[in-house]
Structure 1
Amino acid sequence: MNWQPTASIQALKARACLYQQLRAFFHARGVLEVETPALSQAGNTDPNIASFSVNTPQGLRYLHTSPEYPMKRLLAAGSGDIYQICKVWRQDEAGRKHNPEFSMLEYYRVGFSYQQLMQEVAELLQLAIPHLNTEPRILTYRQAFLQILGLDPHQASIEQLAACAQQQQIDFQGELSQQAWLDLLFTHCIEASFPTDRLTFICHYPATQAALARVRLENGHWVAERFEVYLGPLELGNGYQEQTDADLLERVLVKDAEQQAQDIPVDTRFIAAVAAGMPFSAGIALGLDRILLCRLQAKQLTSMLSFAWEIA
């Protein structure tokens, strides 16, 4: 029976050093470390994310896929700037760059714009991954498509997107929505073009990908005030200008829940907290195992984990 750890002692020490640096980074900026429950009566309604559930004497509970909802409840209660380092769980996420149980850094800055948050995230990641080029690239979603594929994602038809995929030798048979074609081209062509020695920030995704971020009209198209940060093709984090309209958020969560394969209850306490007055803020979730992978310039995510999912 294989009982040995999948991470080396060097990787374990590197993780401990990374966490010390992160805590010092936030302490210097007056950001409070918090802890929230891993089990909740409500799960993540995002149809692209599947939650693990646990039977308890008090009923079904869901392991959090992110500490987002309770942290936003703390913001509404007047916590100010906060961060959390924690384990999170997502079903059906396993592979060279995925593990169903992984470590996340999530933090929120009250009064920050998402542009200010991008700048701070760049500083944080340059501390965490010392070999990075100091100048990150910032592209809008539209700029990325125009530069790399010569297509405007806000105007391209399904037929044009399918033709582009064929030109890029993406082998796919079947019908897809416009957004699904955009996702396919983004993951197979655009992400693959990102430099491996510097950060790439992609912002202003189509409003259909807003999730819980604010949206705004830009050049005649509605875009989300959110961004993702990459090193090479590897996504490290996803940040928002947080939506503070409780009615709008409730509509999003209810609509998402209807598309979920699981019967996931909407987090009504989160909605009530936002309605009570969540402050203007920007927040981000960062994958710490992936950051550690980049820090050590390693190949396999399992080599960053004390025990991989298969032998945990």
Structure 2
Amino acid sequence: MFRLPRLAATATAAAALTVLVAGSPAIGGPPVPDPHVVARFDYARGETPENIALDPDGSANLTLAFARQVVNVDKQGTKRTLATLPAVANPSTPVIGAAAALGIARADNGTLYVTYATGTSETGIWRIPPGGGVPVQIVRLPADGFPNGIAFDEECDTLYVADSVRGTVWSAPREGGTPTAWATGTELRPLPAPEGFGVGANGIKVHNGAVWVSNTDRKTLLRIPVRDDKSAGAIETRAEGLNWIDDFAFTGRGDTVLAALIMDDEVALVRPDGSRETVLTRQEGLSNPTSVAVRGKSVYVPSASYFTAVKEPNLLLAQFRKLHGQGTS
């Protein structure tokens, strides 16, 4: 997620997700059957879907950035509020100026971990119990940072957070405590103005023995190997030229991803060799997509409509017959 202050009215931002609409080409298969809006949200109330983590039953847990809420949406579109992050009296969040619930990750037992950016001591990782409840801050991150995407490595009980402003991947144990600057480097940093918008490391996933990170300003998808001692290996650039990349999701066991390109109103299929093709555009209903979730043949994309004239935040769902990369390729 990123936001450009006062670009349109008082709020302009970057974050969200959107899926696939009728007539879209399938990825490695026929057209997408029956893509549809599962749920709609109220932009005026700050209900801007920012990030997503799926439950085993196919329901979606979403952060609503400026409402500071986490909600669950089932496949019929029924919404249930799981938690509300505490209000902050005088937020001074870098880039956006407002307090925002951003990334979300789910443990196998149903516990949710959410990043909260406020510009205050409340900035950090917050834990929400299975089924919802009172959120508890378990990791405090620098107030002058912008903790954006979050990923959870269940195997080694480690949380990873992409800090868009500080150009850092933070790690912390699942129970919380003192964070570690796990990975840093030019590849993770934002570009200075006017080249960039101050948004570096953004989306983040743990996949195939590595932590993968997108850099919005640098238009790149990065892979950081996890060494045997759990330290970070050398940062590898896996794809370039991904204009306005936000968050992303792997399509299967392989290294192919679906990437949300927020300002281009596109979702791109990015192959392991770095080549890409656009598979969804604004003509098919995308409105500033910022993240993607994949479960089997189902693809979810929430949309926050941060930059569009018509504010229609929503969650869309589509089924693909086959997604490239679901094998080992």
Q: Do the two structures share a fold, i.e. TM-score over 0.5?
A: no
Using CA pairs under 8 Å that are at least 6 residues apart, name the structure with larger relative contact order, 1 or 2: 1
Larger radius of gyration: 1
More helix by share: 1
More strand by share: 2
Normalised TM-score (structure 1): 0.29
Normalised TM-score (structure 2): 0.28
